[in-house]
Amino acid sequence: MAAHLRLRRRGACDCQRPAQRRAAGIRVSLVRPTGGGLTLAPLIGIHASHEQFRPDRLLRVVQAAEAAGFDAGMCSDHWAPWSEEQGESGFAWSWLGAALATTSMPFGVVNAPGQRYHPAIIAQAAATLGVMFPDRFWIAVGSGQLLNEHITGERWPSKPERNERLHESADIMRRLWAGETVSSSGHVRVSEAHLWTRPERPPMLVGAAVTPETAGWVAEWADALITVVQPDAQLDAVVAAFRSNGGADKPMYLQVHLAYAPTDDEARSAAFAQWGQNCVDNSVMTSLAHPAQVTAAAAHTTPDALDGAVRISSDPARHVEWLARDLERGFDGLYLHEVGPEQERFVEVFGREVLPRLK
């Protein structure tokens, strides 16, 4: 790989700016040798979509991605796909162990503790990966989607309640990672929980946010932000809210939904078939329980509606322009999600024509 993966402790390198450090004192940085020493390089990762592809294929894809020059990987922890057309939903935690064991890349997962999972269990899962693969695993937490959480049969709380539950869950996880014996009786009940196997350094705890309101809130307590591609004005508002509410010295990461194919029409058609539901407003999406309901909610959208939510182009140079602009916004890492079916083609083309122009 052109860029070498190194682990940097806080203060280890004078070239680190504050936004490239995290509150817990450790983050994965990319440094590359130059004539004058070492310089920081942008982290460009791949998103492995369990909702769309079988886990065995995704494992081969991330292995190929590392060979092609990608620096990192991430996935989302889903019970169900977004649509029946996607048709998959492997268990992210099983897959993460295999991905970490068969590559040298860091990986992260987006997870919703508090309903489908007790946060103590997620703290244990994350700690175990942290012990086996030191400083190579991070976790992003969000308030969740009914699509995944309805299986418990419990009441689906309002967004403010879910945020309170999320904050409690994050606090419980951090205290367990710190070696405390934890009891709590808030939205999440915990009785004398103690985590016996812990990594030397806890995982980076990232806040997942789509709106400026949530971004400003997670800035107060999360180690970093992860958000998704949106129209420019909305994305800029998310960044501004995070920075102005306590996140100015914290890393920011962006999940980039994109579609690439030999022609623009092919790329748009594939994106709409697999990711058309991305046009549904997030406030609606979070309250839909089944893939069929998501499909129905997106029934009146058209392929043109994808613009702003998915970056569609047959020209690798256009993708370079988009991604370079994201880095100029201040994002420390970009995780690229090819929403179409041709994952192997995406890895090969972007490894050859996109990544070298960003590093």
pLDDT tens figures, 119-141: 999 999 999 999 999 999 999 99
Contacts of 276 (CB under 8 A, 6+ apart): 83, 298, 301, 303, 305, 306
Copy the structure tokens of residue 298.
């997106």
The C-alpha torsion from 244 through 247 and 252 to 258, rounded to 10°, is -40
Cα dihedral sign, 84-86-90-92: negative
39: confidence class by pLDDT, cuts 50, 70, 90: very low
CA distances from 330 to 20, 324, 333, 336 (A): 10, 10, 9, 16
- Cβ pair 314, 266 in contact under 8 A: yes
Question: What's the pLDDT at 30?
Answer: 46
Average pLDDT taken over every residue of the chain: 90
Task: Please report where in the chains the tokens 């889903």 appear, as a residue.
Answer: 78
359: confidence class by pLDDT, cuts 50, 70, 90: confident
Calpha distance 253→317 (Å, rounded): 22
Question: What's the pLDDT at 28?
Answer: 45
Calpha distance 48→149 (Å, rounded): 21
Question: What's the pLDDT at 228?
Answer: 98
354: confidence class by pLDDT, cuts 50, 70, 90: very high
Question: Looking at the predicted structure, is the pLDDT value of residue 91 above 50?
Answer: yes
Question: What's the pLDDT at 10?
Answer: 28
Backbone dihedral angles phi then psi of residue 2, each to the nearest 5 degrees: -65, -30
Contacts of 203 (CB under 8 A, 6+ apart): 126, 127, 129, 130, 137, 138, 139, 177
For the segment 246-255, the average pLDDT, to the nearest whole number, is 98
